[in-house]
Amino acid sequence: MRMLLSNDDGCHAPGLEALAAGLADLGEIVVVAPDRNRSGASNSLTLDVPLRVRPLAPGRYCVNGTPTDCVHLALTGFLPHEPDIVISGINDGANLGDDVLYSGTVAAAMEGRTLGFPAIAVSLLDAEERPYETAVRVVRDLLTHLPKAGLPSNTVLNVNVPARPYEALLGVLATRLGSRHRASGAVADHDPRGRRIYWVGSAGEVADAGEGTDFEAVHRGYVSVTPLQIDLTRHAVLPSLVRWLGGLSSDG
Ligand code: MN
C-alpha cells in the first residue's frame, strides 16, 4: 500500500510524525506537508507565489504552501507514483461540526478525494497529554477494514478520536456533523505603534450535539467517523428554487 500523508499543523508536527511512524510497516509512506502551521487554511490554494518542495528526509517533504497545495502538488506532478490513499493528520484538536469548513486537515483529505483517491482526515481531541498512539491504532483499524466498507468513491471520512488510551475507547460510531453557534467576536487590540489589530475569535459553543452527531460520539468516548461529500448542493431545495426562478423569468 502506498500512502500519501499530509496535515495542517506543519511538517514537524508530532501528530504527523506519530502517524508516519505508526503506519510505516503497512507500506510505502510519503509525507508532503506545509512548512508551518496552516490550521484554518481550509481548501485554499497558493496562486500568488511559486511553491517550493524542500526535502526533510527520504520520503519527507515540506512545502511553503497550504495543506491543499501540498496534496495537489503531490498528486499532480511531484510524486512519481500515485498513492492508494491520502491520510491527513493527526490533527492537534477536534474537527467537529462546522469546524470542517475551516479545517486544513479536512481540506487536505478533500483534495485527495477531489483528485480521485480514497481519503481520511484524522483529528485527536484536545488534552494536556495527546495520546497520538490511540489515533494511530484507530487509523490502522480503519485501513484494515476499509476495502470491505463499500463506500461510494466521492466520500471523505472525517475521523475524530477522543484523547484517551486505545483500550478506554468505547467503540467507533458512524456520525453526522453537529454544529456550533456563531464564533465569538474578533478580539481587538493595538500594535506597538497604536494601530488597531484583530485576532479571529475562538470557535462557537456547540449548538447541535444531539443524537447521532460527531460531538455526541466523542463526548461519550467513541471514535466518530463522519462521511463527508464535496458536493455542497442542497438537493432538497432545488425544486422550490426552480419554481421561484421560473416565476422571476415569466414576470420579466
Ligand atoms: Mn491543525
> Which pLDDT value is given to residue 251?
59
Quick check: 108 and 6 in contact, CB under 8 A? Answer: yes
Task: Give the residue from 95, 78, 100, 93 showing the smallest Cα distance to 31.
Answer: 78
Distance 91 CA to ligand 1 centre (A): 5
Full 3-state SS string of 116-178: CCCEEEEEECCCCCCCHHHHHHHHHHHHHHHHHCCCCCCEEEEEEECCCCHHHCCEEEECECC
pLDDT of residue 252: 53
The cell for 75 is 498528486
- List residues, by chain if needed, whose CB lies under 5 Å from ion ligand 1: 8-9, 39, 91
pLDDT above 80 for 171: yes
User: Higher pLDDT residue, 162 or 202?
Assistant: 162
Q: What are the CA-CA distances from residue 101 to residues 54, 141, 203, 214, 238 (Å)?
A: 28, 26, 12, 15, 22
Q: Express the helix, strand and coil content of the chain in percent, nearest 5 each.
A: 35, 25, 40
- List pLDDT tens digits, range 191-224: 999 999 999 998 888 889 899 999 999 999 999 9
Q: Cα(121) to centroid of ligand 1, in Å?
A: 11
- Distance from the CA of 112 to the center of ligand 1, in angstroms? 17
16 CA distance to ligand 1 centroid (A)?
Answer: 11
CB-CB contact of 124 with 134 (8 Å):
yes
> Contact at 8 Å (CB) between 16 and 43?
no
Terminal Cα distance for the chain, rounded: 58
Task: Report the separation in Å between the CA atom of 88 and the middle of ligand 1, taken as the mean of its atom positions.
Answer: 10
**What is the Å distance from ligand 1's center to 34 Cα?**
11
CA distance 125 to 174: 17
User: Cα of 249 to ligand 1 centre, how many Å?
Assistant: 46
Q: How distant, in Å, are the alpha carbons of 93, 235, 242 from that of 245?
A: 43, 15, 5
Q: Compute the distance from residue 210 Cα to the ligand 1 centre, in Å.
A: 25
| DSSP code for 184 | P
Beta carbons of 2 and 82 less than 8 angstroms apart:
yes
Q: For cell 456547540, what's the residue?
A: 206
The confidence band for 102, taking pLDDT boundaries of 50, 70 and 90, is very high
Ligand 1 centroid–CA 63 distance in Å is 16
- What is the mean pLDDT of the segment spanning 175-193? 94
CA dist 115 and 112 (Å) reads 5
CA of 94 relative to ligand 1 center, distance in Å: 9
Q: pLDDT by residue (tens digit) across 46-77? A: 999 999 999 999 999 999 999 999 999 999 99
Query: Residue 33: beta bridge partners?
Result: 62
